């Protein structure tokens, strides 16, 4: 049996380990560290099973504007699940719970970079993100409209600084 819950301070070493194990390099682990260090994390959840952290997902604040007006928006990710625990629905549960937390926080939109087939299951799509200029624009740049303003004629979506630093 596993439980999804907010991260606690004592979880940080296990979170780092889970994020590192879930990806081919340590870039995502360093990204999560930098987001935490700079205060950009809006919500962070872990999945705990038998006393061990087996998954982690984070929402970080973004600077988003629609036709010059600010939009309360967050970025989803990284979403990390230990390789031996993948395909058990842990990532799905983490994402669904973070979407609900985003609603509770008052975010109007959530952006994600990822596989359209996977994130589409949660309602993310590229057309919702298309009006927003971003360094990450393309088919893998998607948005989920929670309580979003009408799609803008012109918008911009800027991820927290650590995302750009991760790129190099």
Q: What is the pLDDT of residues 28-39, one digit of tens each?
A: 999 999 999 999
pLDDT at 145: 95
Q: Which fold has domain 2-160?
A: Aminopeptidase (3.40.630)
pLDDT per residue as tens digits for the range 113-133: 999 999 999 999 999 999 999
pLDDT at 167: 59
* Residue-range domain boundaries for the chain: 2-160
In this structure, what are the phi and psi dihedrals at residue 60, rounded to the nearest 5 degrees? -120, 150
Asked whether residue 66 carries a pLDDT value surpassing 70, the answer given is yes
Q: What is the pTM of this model?
A: 0.93
Give the mean pLDDT of the chain: 94
pLDDT at 81: 97
Confidence band, pLDDT 50/70/90 cuts, at residue 159: very high
Of 64, 65, 61, 63, nearest to 75 by C-alpha is 61
């Amino acid at each position: 049996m596993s439980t999804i819950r907010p991260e606690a301070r004592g979880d940080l070493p296990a979170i780092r380990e889970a994020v590192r194990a879930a990806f081919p390099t340590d870039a995502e682990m360093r990204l999560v560290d930098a987001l935490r260090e700079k205060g950009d994390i809006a919500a962070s959840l872990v999945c705990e099973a038998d006393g061990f952290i087996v998954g982690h997902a984070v929402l970080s604040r973004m600077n988003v504007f629609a036709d010059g007006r600010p939009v309360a928006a967050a970025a989803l990710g990284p979403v990390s699940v230990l390789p031996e625990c993948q395909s058990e629905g842990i990532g799905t549960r983490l994402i669904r719970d973070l979407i609900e937390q985003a609603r509770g926080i008052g975010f109007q939109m959530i952006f994600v970079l990822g596989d359209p087939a996977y994130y589409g299951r949660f309602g993310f799509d590229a057309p919702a993100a298309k009006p927003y200029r971003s360094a990450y624009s393309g088919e893998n740049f998607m948005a989920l409209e929670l309580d979003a303003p009408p799609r803008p004629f012109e918008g911009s979506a800027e991820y927290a600084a650590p995302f750009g630093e991760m790129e190099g």
